[in-house]
Amino acid sequence: MMKTVTYLTSRENPLLKKIRLLISGSKRASDELVVAEGTRVLHEVNRSGREIEAVVFSESFGRDTHERDLLEDWHNRGIRLYCVNRKLFVSLSCLQTPQGAIALVKVPEVHFPPETNQEDALILYICGIQDPGNMGALIRTAAASGVTLVCTAKGSVSARNPKSIRSSAGVFFHHTPAEQVDADIFLQYCLDNSIQPYRTDTMRGVPYTETNLNSPCAILLGNEGSGMTEEKFSGLPAIHIPMVNGIESLNVALAGAVILFEACRQRCRQ
């Protein structure tokens, strides 16, 4: 074992308490730290170049090539490494089948409005989505389809939720959303920057394939069950995904993927 590794044996260790606070979403937890878990997610953390405060891993971690690569990279970067026994690690893990390592990663909050040029804006504004799996999937889809900025409205689940991060497959660390963005501020930003906002609807509006998504625009996705319910969005042009009779709606992450990749298709034709 590497000489730089510290062994922890107490559940009451301050570092382990900090991890539990972050996982629980406690208001006492640091605003700039997130928990990254899972081999694939941890590789994305390394690729992103984000600062890692510490890594806690189980004594069996490092048996395969991918795990050894992670340990070597952390060691070379001088990251603080802590080893715990399997029982203690399982008590920390968010996963049903723990993969053996958890990193505390520094991710500063992204402020809105953005400082970067949004001349070719394709913005995703996530309104009231509660499921962290859907949140993570949308972040991953947004990155793959060329979205320039992801924002979440007040009342949405945090993109920093460990499950959101895992569901994004670690893309969160490359494309961190601006969170808790007030709807009025967001709509005014769109108006000031000639960005056309489109609210999604299950039945009403123009079919998404007949909508000009090539120009600067923002796609507003609503809550999984109630959709876009705020009155302030009612005057926005609506787009929908045509479906066969008897089917009312799609999963919000899937609906977002369908629309965003149509925008990608239109923009790639240029």
**Structural tokens at position 269:** 């034709």
With bands split at pLDDT 50, 70 and 90, how would you rate the model's confidence at 1?
very low
pLDDT digits (tens, 9 = 90+) for 131-158: 999 999 999 999 999 999 999 999 999 9
Mean pLDDT value across residues 58-86: 94
The domains found in the chain, sorted by start residue, are 5-106 (3.30.1330.30), 122-268 (3.40.1280.10)
CA angle 164, 166, 170 (to 5 degrees): 105
Range in 52-56, 94-98, 175-179 with the lowest mean pLDDT: 94-98
* pLDDT score for 2: 53
d(CA 162, CA 145): 23
Q: Compute φ and ψ for 6, nearest 5 degrees.
A: -105, 135
Given a cut of 60, whether residue 266 has pLDDT beyond it is yes
With bands split at pLDDT 50, 70 and 90, how would you rate the model's confidence at 25?
confident
pLDDT digits (tens, 9 = 90+) for 177-206: 999 999 999 999 999 999 999 999 988 899
Q: Compute φ and ψ for 151, nearest 5 degrees.
A: -125, 150
